């Protein structure tokens, strides 16, 4: 069985069901599934899980081939009703150079589904 890019176990039991349409049980689960979607270049899922009010026209698909995602570390998950935040560090490589993305992402739950709203980059 293939490991999930988010590090949560087997893909078919972790992010796979979410990529196939199952709702995320928490904002953290959604964030993990979005990381996996970037790693697997599932831009359809990224669009579907992004809140319509902040969805950009371009997700950078043309640059997706150049990025190799290396790992994810969730630092904190705070949920307050239908709003949540998740702090994480994602490691990746572009053109052979290792980089880190440290972000606090905001999420909202509408009609029983979590959506990514936006994120605030943190100093590395």
The 10s digit of each residue's pLDDT in 47-64 is 999 999 999 998 877 776
Structural domain contains residue 11 = no
Give pLDDT, residue 60.
76
What's the domain range around 46? 16-121
Does 45 have pLDDT greater than 70?
A: yes
Nearest to 110 by CA among 20, 50, 29: 50
The per-residue pLDDT for 59 is 83
pLDDT value at 81 more than 70: yes
Distance CA 68, CA 60 (A): 14
State both tokens at 52. Answer: 């319509």
For residue 95, what pLDDT is reported? 87
Q: Is residue 39 part of a domain?
A: yes
Residue 3 belongs to a domain = no
pLDDT band at 4 (very low <50, low <70, confident <90, very high): very high
Q: Is residue 10 part of a domain?
A: no
Cα separation, 98 vs 92, in Å, equals: 6
Kindly report the average pLDDT of the chain as a whole number.
94
Burial class of residue 72 in the structure, from the number of CB atoms within 10 Å of its CB (0-12 exposed, 13-18 middle, 19+ buried): buried
Q: What is the CATH number of the domain that holds 60?
A: 3.10.450.50
């Amino acid at each position: 069985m293939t490991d999930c890019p988010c590090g949560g176990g087997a893909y078919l039991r972790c992010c796979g069901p979410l990529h196939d349409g199952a709702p995320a049980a928490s904002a953290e689960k959604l964030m993990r599934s979005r990381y996996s979607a970037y790693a697997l270049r599932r831009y359809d899922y990224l669009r579907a899980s992004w809140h319509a009010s902040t969805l950009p026209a371009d997700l950078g698909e043309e640059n997706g081939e150049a990025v190799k995602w290396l790992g994810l570390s969730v630092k904190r998950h705070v949920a307050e009703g239908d709003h949540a935040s998740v702090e994480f560090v994602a490691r990746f490589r572009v053109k052979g150079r290792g980089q880190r993305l440290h972000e606090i992402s905001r999420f909202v739950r509408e009609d029983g589904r979590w959506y990514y709203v936006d994120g605030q980059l943190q100093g590395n």
